[in-house]
Amino acid sequence: MSPEDLNPGDVGPGSEVAVLVRGLTKSYGNVHAVRGIDLTIARGEVFALLGPNGAGKTTTVEILEGYRHRDGGQVEVLGFDPGRQRSRLKQQTGIVLQSTGVDSYLTVSETVAMYAGYYPHPRPVEEVLELVGLTEKRSSRVSRLSGGQQRRLDVAVALAGDPELLFLDEPTTGFDPSARREAWQVVENLAALGKTVLLTTHYMDEAEHLANRVAVIAGGRIVAEGTPATLAGRDTARVVVSYRLPDGVSAPPEFGGPTGPEGRIEFMPDDLTAALHRLTGWALDHGVSLDALRISRPSLEDVYLQLTDSASGAQPAEASSKSKGKRR
Ligand code: ATP
């Protein structure tokens, strides 16, 4: 079943819908942080919320988690209203914040076991450590872990109760490239177990790699939603042909002008095949090398920047300034 086929009647324990949001609003004084958001997330989906600083992502997620009260709208998470049934919801959700405070004198497995003890049906500690890639570190003290390993321990703690739904707030911010790849593997492991994951991220490659669907929030509203590959018509957008020419050589006007970065020449043909045929034919006839010839559609980052730039007039006046990661 695709998320488009889901409707409010499908919500409830054991249903196909993990998260259903309709007309969600939230203001802080005169800052309208969330201005009528609709979201449907199916069970087993990895869903990413994208958006600039202050867009309303954290406010939305905190309402879904039950940590913040909404002003208006309908919200159901795993069949519960987080505003009124937070403790029941908590048993089935795991939350990974940007920074968490676990006791640095405990070992890795003691930490996970301690959190597992709070839940009625925890996942075995060894399984959790395996999922997050910390089996080798099970006897290490938390204080001895690297930053990336501590982050994986945060995920392990959130997994201790074997939740159905995981909230991951910017899970790889500050990671080096290999630690990011390892964190992505952890999310993939969760997806393979059929868990639902709602993540916020500022990294487009992360959303592209991990998410089944993404929503872009700007100024408290969802400005686009879809799969990373098709967001805002990415898949059907006109292609850009670009190349470089040797110094002193110029191409006929139909093959573009030097408008791109690094002296790249760009044009957007109506008929790609015919245009390439003519361009390469012209190059061969004139003995010209089309250095670094490239054919591209807009990247996820391109469409994200377009969407958020055009929505920026609607953003709340203040930038996000609160400190994060303090709750558990
Ligand atoms: P970031 O990417 O920086 O984490 P965000 O998309 O998560 O941003 P929110 O944290 O939801 O955005 O903030 C949305 C708006 O609400 C911002 O203008 C922010 O300043 C404001 N805001 C958030 N929390 C509070 C609060 N506790 N009190 C007052 N204003 C707040």
Q: Determine how many CB atoms are found less than 10 A away from the CB of residue 76.
A: 21
| Ligand 1 neighbour 320 (Cβ under 6 A) | yes
pLDDT at 108: 95
Locate the DSSP E strands across the chain.
17-28, 31-42, 46-50, 72-77, 93-96, 165-169, 196-200, 213-218, 221-226, 240-244, 265-267, 291-296
For domain 3-92+164-233+302-314, give the CATH number.
Answer: 3.40.50.300
Establish how many alpha carbons lie within 13 A of residue 33's alpha carbon, considering only the half-sphere containing its beta carbon: 23
- Single out the residue of 64, 62, 60, 54 nearest to residue 25, CA to CA: 60
The string of pLDDT tens digits covering residues 72-113 is 999 999 999 999 999 889 889 999 876 667 778 899 999 999
Instruction: Give the position, in ligand 1's atom list, of the atom nearest the Cα of 315.
Output: 18
Q: In what order do the strands lie in the sheet with 240-244?
A: 265-267, 240-244, 291-296
* pLDDT of the residue at 322: 46
For the record, the structure tokens of 143 come out as 């204080």
Report the percent of the chain where pLDDT is more than 90: 60
As a whole number of angstroms, the distance between CA 195 and CA 201 comes to 18
Q: Is any atom of ligand 1 closer than 6 Å to the C-beta of 228?
A: no
CA separation for the pair 79, 5 (Å, rounded):
17
User: What is the biggest distance separating any 2 CA atoms in the chain, rounded to whole angstroms?
Assistant: 75
- Whether 59 is in the pocket of ligand 1, judged by its Cβ within 6 Å, is yes
Is the per-residue pLDDT at 6 higher than 70? no
* Shortest-distance atom of ligand 1 to CA 170: 4
pTM for this entry = 0.83
pLDDT digits (tens, 9 = 90+) for 242-274: 999 988 888 899 998 766 667 789 899 999 999
Residue 323's pLDDT is 41
Q: Strand 93-96 relative to strand 165-169: parallel, antiparallel, unpaired?
A: parallel
User: What is the distance between the alpha carbons of residues 170 and 106, in angstroms, rounded to a whole number?
Assistant: 25
pLDDT given at position 205: 94
pLDDT of residue 319: 41
Q: Is 179 in the pocket of ligand 1 (CB under 6 A)?
A: no
H/E stretch holding 129 reads helix 125-132
Rounded CA separation 310/103 (Å): 45
Quick check: 19 pLDDT over 70?
Answer: yes
Tens of pLDDT, residue by residue over 48-69, are 999 999 999 999 999 999 999 9
Distance 323 CA to ligand 1 centre (A): 10
Tell me the pLDDT tens digit for each residue of 157-181.
Answer: 999 999 999 999 888 887 888 888 8
pLDDT (tens digit per residue) in 218-235: 999 999 999 999 998 888
Domain limits, the chain: 3-92+164-233+302-314, 240-296
User: Which among 93, 26, 57 is positioned nearest to 328, based on CA atoms?
Assistant: 93
Tokens of 122: 């925890």
Residue 197 three-state SS: strand
For ligand 1, atom 9, name the residue with the nearest CA. Answer: 56
- Whether 328 has a pLDDT exceeding 90, the answer reads no
Please indicate whether residue 269, judged by its CB atom, sits closer than 6 Å to ligand 1.
no
* Whole-angstrom distance, CA of residue 62 vs CA of residue 45: 19
Which residue's alpha carbon is at the smallest distance from atom 29 of ligand 1?
28
DSSP string, 23-69: EEEEEETTEEEEEEEEEEEETT-EEEEE--TTSSHHHHHHHHHTSS-
Ligand 1 center from residue 17 Cα (angstroms): 27
Q: Tell me, using a 6 A CB cutoff, whether residue 201 lines ligand 1.
A: no
